[in-house]
Amino acid sequence: MFARIKTAYNRDGSPRRYLQIVESRREEGKVRQKVLCNLGRVEDLQNGKLDDLIRSLAKFSDKLAVVDAAEDLFADWSKEYGPSMVFNRLWDNLGLHKILDGLFSERELSIDVREAIFCMVLNRLTEPTSKLGVSDWKDSVYRPDFETLKLHHFYKAIDFLDENKDTIEEQLFFHHTNLFTQQLDLVFFDTTSTYVEGDAGAFDLLEYGHSKDHRPDRLQVMIGILMSRDGIPIAHHVFPGNTPDTDAFIEAVSDLKKRFNIQRVIVVGDRGMMGKRTLELLEELQLQYILGVRMRNIKAGPDLANSPEPLCIHQG
């Protein structure tokens, strides 16, 4: 059934419009329309009578009754809930709650500092911004513990992370290896640079250097990261902005051997890590390695480039 307007004309040619309820039927293979009800002239119904009729009919419709009831519902606010819920599970699986709680109990820090760390990491994953920006962004996320956070909690959290960086990395590493019952046998290392805008203050690591962001006109720092074969970060290092890749590699590998008590591991780096000092260190630490090298720097380069078969070079 549906409503339609039927137009008729007076002798003077003026139209009269009538509202009808009509039903379509198929009779003898043809679709015909049958008028079930004449509701009257449209002009007479537009003074509120039609609205009253619709509301009266809606009482007999389950769907429209729900829609009508929903008109009285409204939202004072809305916040994101999904990202914090999912990330909280990952946070627990990584053991970060236990690690941070243990460190906090030793230093008698407030629960707000731990929550500030959670908040900053969640922000970094979903909508990266500055610490001041995080202080505003947190209001868009549904997590009751965020409500007590103030800007100074984020700065305290940064100080705490800086002071306990090595401990957190080591506990995360051993938690991961115990969780997945596997040994560290392959390590990847790479570096990147990040530059700053404006006044950097007394930050002594900022230097001009080779910019991987293609901004040699900006002060920068170098960041190196060690990762397992599964893509799990093991440790990271921040170097002065003018640090060569080879120097960063040497420091990171030495730190890896000292802090994580590994026995056998293959270190993988690109050709930027290649150098005489690098090779000497790897041999001294008795680590196996895979390093990139420019083709023109090895005698077998032309043969390797022209051969369809892999070429193996054995160290004597």
Q: Which residues of the chain have pLDDT under 50?
A: 181, 301, 304, 311, 313, 315-316
pLDDT at 182: 53
pLDDT tens-digit readout, 54-97:
777 777 777 766 666 666 667 778 899 999 999 999 999 888 98
pLDDT of residue 316: 42
Q: Does pTM top 0.75 for this prediction?
A: no
Q: What is the pLDDT of residue 30?
A: 87
Q: Which residue pairs from 192-197 have beta carbons closer than 8 angstroms and sit at least 24 positions apart in sequence? A: 192/222, 192/223, 193/220, 193/221, 193/222, 193/223, 193/241, 194/220, 194/221, 194/223, 195/219, 195/220, 195/241, 196/220
Beta bridge partners of 26: 31
| Contact between residue 15 and residue 9 where contact means Cβ atoms under 8 Å apart | yes
Radius of gyration of the chain (CA): 35
Which tens digit of pLDDT belongs to each residue from 150-182? 999 999 999 999 999 999 999 988 887 765 545
| Helices vs strands, H then E, count in the chain | 12, 8
Q: Phi/psi at 14 (nearest 5 deg)?
A: -75, 140
Domain 183-306 is found in CATH 3.40.630.10:
no
Q: Where are the domains of the chain?
A: 2-70, 82-163, 183-306
The distance of Cα 215 from the centroid of its chain, to the nearest Å, equals: 26
Q: Chain-wide mean pLDDT for the chain? A: 81
Please calculate the CA angle 25-27-28 and round it to the nearest 5 degrees. Answer: 155
Check residue 39 and give its pLDDT.
Answer: 84
List of residues 6+ apart from 38 with CB closer than 8 A: 18, 19, 20
Token pair 């009751």 is found at 144
Q: Please tell me if the domain spanning 2-70 has the same topology as the one spanning 183-306.
A: no
- CATH 3.10.450 for domain 2-70: yes
What CA–CA distances, in Å, run from 289 to 10, 245, 285? 99, 16, 11
CA distances from 77 to 4, 80, 139, 146, 147 (A): 42, 11, 11, 16, 15
Look at residue 60 in the predicted model and tell me its pLDDT.
75
Per-residue pLDDT, 315:
47
Residues constituting the chain: 316
Q: What is the DSSP string of 290-314?
A: EE---GGGSTTHHHHHH-SS-----
Separation of first and last alpha carbons in the chain: 91
Distances (CA, A) of 185 to 169, 206, 265, 267, 289: 18, 34, 4, 9, 11
